[in-house]
Structure formats: structure tokens, C-alpha cells
Amino acid sequence: MADDGPPRMAVLTNPRARRNRRNPRRIESLRAILGDLGDVFAPDGLDALQEVLQALRQQEVQLLVVDGGDGTLHRVLTGVCHAWGEAPWPRFVILRSGTMNIVAASIGARGRPDQALRRLVHALREGRSLATARRWALRVDDRLGFIFGNGIVARYLEVHYEGGGSPLNAARLLGLGALSALVGGPLSRRLTRPWHGELVLDGTSCGTRDWTAVAIGTVEQIGLGFRPFPDIATHPGEAQVVQVGAGVGALALDLHNILLGRHLQRPGNRTTLATTIELRGQGGLDYMLDGDFYRGAPTVIITMERPVEFVLPA
């Protein structure tokens, strides 16, 4: 950190998050932990978030602490892109307080949210150096994030959230989906409905076909311990693209490779790297970005935005 004292910082939290609704005093508790190093902001909605970020940009805040999970992080990151523009962005800290904390797990952020903030504040006051991690952000339409998926990836998360979004429900859904696939049940049909379109990587077409899923990431994990993007740490500035074109059965046979952080092996499935990805279909394209769901135009273009630096509380 800077030699002239702790950096200017701010904590951004969602007032409607389950953790904050259960404990109405929590935001004041976060302020007490932060002390004179900064303030806690709880913007209620995207417009309010953008106003807060514009003000923090004017104050030259250097460290943004995101009290939330992947969805909160991707919204804050998108807002920072609009507020800071081409200027150097602040560093980020993730407090792992969301339903999904895949980005935090991928970069090695650990611990309970309030305890992690205490460790961060203590380290900053002592002037200790902190570990950092760097991952590139993806630009999808006008949004920024780290994990994109359509097909079975997006539908699995959609059904997962309908069941409450807990890790236990995620594991349960994985098992039920596998059983449903054995008998051709309605859950399996819902999860495995393919996306029909053309995938283009750095100007080279991978063909037009039914895709079980196209998953793109700049962090290693995708949840439940699966690591479909193992190469991104050694290929900065590129995204890893997982193409599942051989059907759900072949994907099931490749799950152990994803769990072990290896490339897909079954014929019709492929893992590669790219900097510009185009998905061309008919009608709006449904997709997931960091756990949030969107419907895009018939053609969705994904590019590399810039590296994001994360600070890891000791």
C-alpha cells in the first residue's frame, strides 16, 4: 500500500441482502469496523449505486470493498467502468457475503465477511503488505463480469436459484438432474435444452449447431468445486472457452475432468482460449453473467476489458 498512510476506501453493501435484512444493525457494525479509514454505502438500486460510485471517483477512493457475492461484484465492476472510464481503477476486496462467491473462491479470498474486514483494517493500520490477485474482466454487451454461460450452465443456475440458492440445493440439483437424465424426465429436458447458433472465436467459426453449453471464464472455478477454466492464470488477457457440443451424456462423462481442472476430452467437446467471442443465433440470447441472468441481442460479442486487481485480507 501507499507509504503515506492507508488508502482511501469504501465498503459497498446491498441493503436488501439476506445478511443485512436479518441483522438491521450490521451496516453500522461495518462502519464501526472501518472507523476513520472510510465509510459504508448501501445504495438501493442500480441508479443509486452509480451515483455513489461517481462520488467515490471524485473522492479518489483507492480501495473498494464489495460486501456481497458474484452478482454484487459484477454490478459494482460495471458501475466502476462507467464512473472511472479510462482512469486507473481502484483495487477491490471481496467479503464473500453473497449466495455465490465463485470469484472470491477462485482468487483465494477466505473467511467470514466481518472478520475479513477486521483483518483488512488491522493490516492497513499497521502498514503491512497484503497479497493480491489479478483477473481480467469480460465485457458482455454493456456489462462486466468474469463467468459467462448459456445453455445448461445458465439453466442450472436458474433452477438452483428457484430452490433457494444454497450450496446444499446446488448439490441436490446436480443429483436430481443426473437421475432425471437417466429417465428423460422434465427436469433433464428443462436443463439440457440446447442453444442453436454459431460460435466464432477470434474471427474463426466453430460452426453452427446445437450447443449443450458455451461457458467462458477468466477465473478458474464455476461452482461446486468444478474448475473448467484452468489455463487462465497462465494466459492473462485471454478467456477460456468451454464448448459442449456433444450432448449432455458426453458432458456427464467429462465432469470428472472439469472437477480436476483438466480440459474436456469427449469428442464434440473442446476447451480453448480466445480474446473475442461471438455467439450468433436467432432471437435474443439468454445467458448468465456471474450468476445474474440476461437476454441479449441475436449476436452477443464478448471481449476482454482490462485486468482487475484484488486485495486479499491476511
pTM over 0.75? The answer is: yes
Task: Report the run of H or E that residue 162 belongs to, with start and end.
Answer: helix 152-162
**Across all residues in the chain, what is the average pLDDT?**
86
Judged by DSSP in three states, 131 sits in: strand
Rounded distance, CA 92 to CA 198, Å?
35
Rounded distance, CA 200 to CA 208, Å?
9
Half-sphere exposure of 286 (CA within 13 A, CB side): 14
Report pLDDT digits (tens) over 163-192.
555 555 455 545 544 444 444 556 556 667
Confidence class for position 154, pLDDT limits 50, 70, 90: confident
Q: Closest by alpha carbon to 79, among 34, 104, 43?
A: 43
Task: Report the run of H or E that residue 57 belongs to, with start and end.
Answer: helix 46-58
pLDDT of residue 1: 46
What lies within 8 Å, CB to CB, of 19 at 6+ separation is: 26, 97, 113
Domain ranges in the chain? Answer: 9-138, 145-304
What lies within 8 Å, CB to CB, of 287 at 6+ separation is: 140, 148, 149, 150, 154, 279, 293, 294, 295, 296, 300
Q: Closest by alpha carbon to 282, among 270, 299, 258, 265?
A: 299
Rounded distance, CA 35 to CA 6, Å?
12
What lies within 8 Å, CB to CB, of 13 at 6+ separation is: 20, 27, 30, 40, 41, 42, 67, 68, 97
pLDDT of residue 185: 57
On whether the CB atoms of residues 302 and 239 are closer than 8 A, the answer is: yes
Residue 125, pLDDT above cutoff 60:
yes
Q: Report the pLDDT averaged over residues 149-170.
A: 65
Residue 2, pLDDT above cutoff 50:
no
pLDDT of residue 117: 95
pLDDT of residue 167: 54
Whether domain 9-138 has CATH 3.90.920.20: the reply is no
Q: Which range, 95-104, 240-249, 299-308, is most confident?
A: 299-308
Half-sphere exposure of 46 (CA within 13 A, CB side): 9
CATH of domain 145-304: 2.60.200.40
Residue 247 vs residues 39, 64, 97, 180, 213: alpha-carbon distances, Å:
50, 42, 35, 15, 9
φ and ψ at residue 188, rounded to 5 degrees: -60, -40
pLDDT of residue 159: 63
